[in-house]
Chains A and B, each alone.
Chain A
Amino acid sequence: MIYGADRLDVESAERSLAAWEEDFPRPLVDLSRLRRLDPFGALVLVLEARRAQEAGGFLRVLLPQGVEGRALLARSGIERLLAGAYRADGPWPEAPGGEAEIDLVEVKEEEGVGRLVDGLSERLLDRFPLGESGTRLLAQAMLELLQNIPQHASPEKADVSPFGVGALQESEDHLHLVVADKGVGLRGSLGTNPRFRELDDSQALEAALVQGTSRFDRPGRGGALRRIRELMLRNAGRFFVRSGSGALWQADVEWVVSAVCPFPGVQVSIRLPRRLFE
């Protein structure tokens, strides 16, 4: 199925994921009309490429035709994470001398998480010297979300390569952090505890994000996702998490859980107002 949207971002990624799923493991990724790409869309594309590669396939990519779209894709910096898991209708566009617009990090083990967070935070502070409170919030979220990948995305006995990535992008009115993996997802992680084995994806989302549930029974474990959701709420941030076939949107004072196209792992999007950094 060909689905050629002009945007691949947190609001529109569901339609692309559903279309890609039909041709998996050789999904046709039509970026020919691309005009908008955010870190969420970029990481979903990276995860899809890894999934396809592991299943013996690859992405079939129709590259952007317009100058703007080509520049967007080039400046996203995702080509290095696609690891050759694609075939395109031409050479991948190269960045026209500018720096990558999206800061991308790959999380391989818990040991390196602190360094990744320090690196991203210091770059933010260089960029926004007065934005300490915003940077602190993002650093807090990054620390918890990035360490969740080695801790929960591939729990004991799970034969899954979680491939965790993080991305940060500055835009006109907000800073956008995305942390995504293709591991076992919240239901898979919580399900390792017999008490939560019966939860479906939507229930697992609510358990983790609203009740602060963890697969561990030990006191003190869990609650990180709930805490991040609360922090975003307090700071006028926008928060979106999808896992498996469920997704939770937190906007203003309400949260909504809905069904989405099944996709492995957990993908988290956090958007904080730019004024927190200025």
Chain B
Amino acid sequence: MTEATFALSRYGRRVGTRAEGERARKELLNSLEGLSEGSLLVVDLTGLDVLSGSFADEALAETVARLAAGALPGRYLLVRSPSDELLEDLESKLKGRRLALLALVRETWRVLGHLPPHLSQALEWLTARGEGTSQELSETLGVSVAGASVRLTELSRLRLVHRVQKPRSMGGIEHWATSLVSLKKAP
């Protein structure tokens, strides 16, 4: 998966107002649009002192909402932050919208916002393995293949995992889900 970085510090050390967030969102969406399918855009919060709820909602939560609604297929977003504190207002906005976004904080990852436990469990499994199929997930979790497939499809819709089609050795194709991160989960 190719990766690009979008530094929020370009807007200042303390961001910001809703109007500034709206402008940042347009640039963020342009950057995502410029990526090829199967690419990841890392929004880097390094250098920021404050990320206000208003800015975070317009720039990031609204972008996540659009991706989850189907915009810009195959493009993924995650946020990298030097501290958990900086993510608090963003997390609260995502929860309010019932959306989820992956966050890298130092050497660990976690989900910001709202993710039901059954999806969270599937995401943890996939991130620990790097990639997997519905069949493998169903065997690990002890759920039906259809149930496992629904979980991976939903995670893919939320842009928390990347799904690709691979040819089967015995013919036909199968869906593989790939993790966006390969780091340990935050405790």
Contacts and interface: CB of A to CB of B under 8 A. Distances in A.
Given A114-B20, A143-B17, A227 B53 contact: yes
Interface residues of A, number: 22
A220 B61 contact: yes
A110 B17 contact: yes
Given A117-B14, A118-B14, A147 B97 contact: no
Nearest to A146: B17
Nearest to A135: B49
Interface string A190-226: 0000000000000000000000000000011101100
A219 B55 CA distance: 14
Contact of A151 (B13, B15, B18): B18
B132 interface: no
Nearest to B49: A136
Interface string B1-33: 000000000001111111110000000000000
Interface in B90-120: 92-93, 96-97
Contacts of A118: 12-14
A173 to B, nearest CB: 24
A121 B52 CA distance: 14
A220 B50 contact: no
A140 B14 CA distance: 8
A110 B52 contact: no
B62 interface: yes
Nearest to B58: A220
Interface string A123-150: 0000000001001100110011001000
B19 A220 contact: no
Interface string B147-174: 0000000000000000000000000000
A268 B62 CA distance: 29
A139 B97 CA distance: 25
A110 B97 contact: no
A143 B96 contact: no
Nearest to A231: B88
B50 A140 contact: yes
Contacts of B15: 114
9 nearest CB pairs, A to B: A220-B57, A219-B97, A143-B52, A147-B17, A139-B50, A139-B14, A140-B50, A110-B19, A110-B17
Interface of A: 110-111, 113-114, 117-118, 121, 132, 135-136, 139-140, 143-144, 147, 151, 219-221, 223-224, 227
Given A143-B54, A220-B93, 15 more contacts: A110-B17, A110-B18, A118-B13, A121-B49, A136-B49, A136-B50, A143-B14, A143-B17, A147-B18, A219-B96, A219-B97, A220-B61, A220-B62, A220-B65, A223-B93
27 contacts: A110-B17, A110-B18, A114-B15, A114-B16, A114-B20, A117-B14, A118-B13, A118-B14, A121-B13, A132-B49, A136-B50, A139-B50, A140-B89, A143-B17, A143-B54, A144-B52, A144-B53, A144-B54, A147-B17, A151-B18, A220-B58, A220-B61, A220-B65, A220-B96, A220-B97, A224-B54, A227-B53
